[in-house]
Amino acid sequence: MIGHRGASGYRPEHTLASYQLAIDLGADFIEPDLVATRDGRLVARHENEISGTTDVAEHPEFAARRATKLIDGETVTGWFTEDFSLAELKTLRACERLPELRPHNTLFNGRFEVPTLEEILALADHASRSHGRPIGIYPETKHPTYFRQLGLPLEEPLVRTLHAAGHRERSSAVFIQSFETRNLRQLRSLTQLRLVQLIEAQGAPYDAVAAGDSLTYAEMITQAGLASVAQYADGVGVSKDLIVPRDGDGKLRGPTSLIRDAHAAGLCVHAWTFRAENAFLPCDFRVGTAGAAPDRAVRGDLHEELKLFYRLGLDGVFADQPDVAVATRTGLRL
């Protein structure tokens, strides 16, 4: 059970408070998305563009750093971690990324710093000792091709930091994940730690696009594609829609063979993202007034959605509300 960006259903994501709460609620792993600062430090943010997750826009001293950039083929305007030193980022404070869906989380706006990978590892180590169980780390390298082109590669400092913290063996409580393929292949040459290939419901890995390769995510979930992934990765982290698709009305269809096929290739299967709000649930599990469109921010029946996926043989879930995922797993005696 992976606390997705911590316990992001209850605290602003990618903060030490969010990670700590996920651990307290029973998460086995906490998941930091990693991006680089100007001075090459790895910090946890969902994206390198930080206007939606920090108060940077309220800092007049950084107004001139607002920029427009091309990130993985898309034009993005805002403030970017690679234009800040770590010391400068530490003057900012985190805020809730989805305030319209999680207004309660806005109560914590302005309270928490942007954490470094070292701080997250220290928190997990302390929590492992205090809780009497291993707390794993599940970092994602965000936009690795982009950062390497800037001269700020993510792979080497990530491995160096993990190894320095004592995480060196395949048996370590660590998974490293990426939507790209070439950096996972590079990571395989740098570490024994377990690797997970992330797979979207549509599109293609950006490194393949940048290289003019025709590889798509759809190809990667075929039996041949999964066998290829198994040459460098230990698992796949897939959109849950690839396991149980939805129709045009948002209702669930029958499950695919993806879990069975991945297991046959020797890969574990982790799925994302399980969130309690109606906005993220299939119609089958939304809660609302009969005959009316349900409120997107109201919490639906995440418990029943998780039961469905657990019973299909899923090995791990990324959840914004870790307590619900843990309780569901416990109820099914998994």
Give the model confidence (pLDDT) of 181-226 as tens digits: 999 999 999 999 999 999 999 999 999 999 999 999 999 999 999 9
* Average of per-residue pLDDT across 158-176: 97
Give the other-Cβ count within 10 Å of 203's Cβ: 13
Predicted local distance difference test score (pLDDT) of residue 291? 58
Mean pLDDT of the chain: 97
pLDDT digits (tens, 9 = 90+) for 257-296: 999 999 999 999 999 999 999 999 999 999 986 556 779 9
Predicted local distance difference test score (pLDDT) of residue 178? 98
Q: To the nearest whole percent, how much of the chain has pLDDT over 70? A: 99
CATH of 2-50+117-331, one of 3.40.140.10, 3.40.50.720, 3.40.50.620, 3.20.20.190: 3.20.20.190
Predicted local distance difference test score (pLDDT) of residue 334? 66
Predicted local distance difference test score (pLDDT) of residue 103? 97
pLDDT digits (tens, 9 = 90+) for 124-137: 999 999 999 999 99
pTM attached to this predicted model: 0.96
Confidence at 7, pLDDT banded by 50, 70, 90: very high
What beta strand segments (E) does 5-63 contain? 29-31, 33-36, 42-44
CA distances from 194 to 135, 156, 178, 179 (A): 15, 15, 12, 15
Predicted local distance difference test score (pLDDT) of residue 232? 98
Tokens of residue 235, six digits? 């698992």
Whether 196 contacts 233, CB under 8 Å: yes
Tokens of residue 146, six digits? 């982009």
